[in-house]
A and B are shown apart, each in its own frame.
Chain A
Amino acid sequence: MSEMRTYEVFCKKAGKDEFRHVGAMQAHDPELALMYARESYSRRGEGAEMWLVDRGDLIVASPQALAQNADKPHRHNDGSAVAARRKAQRESGGTT
């Protein structure tokens, strides 16, 4: 048989749930991948639908590209600045 390929497995329960990544597995080709994915990830009715994606077909973002987005604190508003101001006003007896 040919070289094994790695497939990412996604399952979706019936209803409105979204597809979720459930794991990865190896197989020689798409047909065998479907057979083995069924046994590895849906033996107990974990999903009503399943997607397999060959890992080689994934478009992968570089960690460096994502790291730049983590360095923009001025874009984040988690409410801590407002909370600190209100706390300071309460403690000084002021009104908000």
Chain B
Amino acid sequence: MNEPSMDPPLAAVVLALADDEHMVGARHTAWIGLGPFLEEDLAFCSIAQDELGHAIALYEMLPAAQASGIDAFGLLREPSAYRSSWLAEWECTDWADSLVRQWLYDRAETLRWEWLREMSSPPLADLAARALSEESFHLAHAEHLLCRVMPSTEEAKRRLVASTSRFLGMSDNFWVDLDLGLRQQWEQLVAGDLARWGVEGTALLNTPQVAPADRSVRSPGFDAFHAELTEVVALDPSAIW
């Protein structure tokens, strides 16, 4: 299972994806018990669990994480050592934001897993193939909900477009240094989704950027989020779980 070493550029891709999966999975779990109805609650938390599972599987392949232990690596690094994106870290206190983030994130995540499946060798390529089988359901979840809700009322469209605009303002931060030729594909897919849902995407995709094009800079609210994630571990760092 373990790769003895990893090409540094590939390790950077894997680390960014792993940290993104960790953060977005943890943020999604904030909706446990709060989803708009029981079935959606279950479906959304299932996505969250899938993403956290991907994070663990990716961390296990990183030499740096193997050296310090998965839990310590995932939870106890200095904030500047994380390579997650603002899109993944952002606290969504509104369900609309959370749904839009899930859609935009999983569109990008799927492209990155496809890239890993094609460009890497086993076991990473195998993990990518397994993850993609889950991602197809994540994308279907976003599509099934947004194709219904986005065109339903003027207010729904206004709120979802505002969410979309906010997160597209974090695109530079998301794709910096890790474009892999995928950003253009992602933007085309996002524009295609929006068009299908009755929204003109060109202006949205040109929205001013609000996040630094640097994944070593944490998003506002990260410290509190990180403190929450590590609250139990910090009770007794020497405890064996």
Pairwise interchain contact B144-A32, C-beta atoms closer than 8 A: yes
Docked Cα-Cα span, A38 to B42, in Å, equals: 10
- Chain B contact residues, majority secondary structure: helix
6 A-B contact pairs sorted by A residue (CB < 8 Å): A25-B39, A31-B144, A32-B144, A32-B148, A35-B144, A43-B46
Of chain B, the residue at the smallest CB distance from A29 is B148
Closest Cβ–Cβ distance, residue B224 to chain A (whole Å): 30
Query: For the complex, is B121 an interface residue (Cβ under 8 Å from A)?
Result: no
CA distance in complex: A32, B145 (Å)? 8
Q: Give the CA-CA distance A4 to B37 in the complex, in Å.
A: 10
B interface, size bucket: 10 to 19
A sample of 13 more A-B contacts (CB under 8 A), given A26-B38, A27-B39, A39-B39, is A1-B148, A25-B38, A25-B39, A26-B37, A28-B148, A32-B145, A32-B148, A35-B43, A36-B39, A38-B137, A39-B46, A40-B42, A43-B46
Q: How far is the CB of A33 from chain B (nearest CB, A)?
A: 9
A35 to B141, CA, bound (A): 7
Interface residues of A (CB under 8 A from B): 1, 4, 25-28, 31-32, 35-36, 38-40, 43
Q: Which residue of B lies closest to A33 (CB)?
A: B39
**Are the CB atoms of B42 and A1 closer together than 8 Å?**
no
State the CA gap A35–B37 with chains docked (Å).
Answer: 14
Answer yes or no: B140 CB below 8 A from chain A CBs. yes
Q: Do residues A26 and B39 form an inter-chain contact, with CB atoms below 8 A?
A: yes
- Complex contacts, B148 vs chain A, CB 8 Å: 1, 28, 32
By the criterion CB–CB under 8 Å, are A35 and B140 in contact? yes
Is B152 part of the binding interface, using a Cβ–Cβ cutoff of 8 Å? yes
Q: Report the nearest B residue to A38, measured CB to CB.
A: B137
B195 at interface by CB-CB < 8 Å: no
CB distance from A8 to the nearest CB of B (A): 14
Q: How far is the CB of B121 from chain A (nearest CB, A)?
A: 29
Contact, CB under 8 Å: B152 / A1: yes
Bound complex: CA of A35 vs CA of B137, how far in Å? 8
Which B residues are CB-close (under 8 A) to A43?
A: 46
Separation of A31 and B39 alpha carbons in the complex (Å): 13
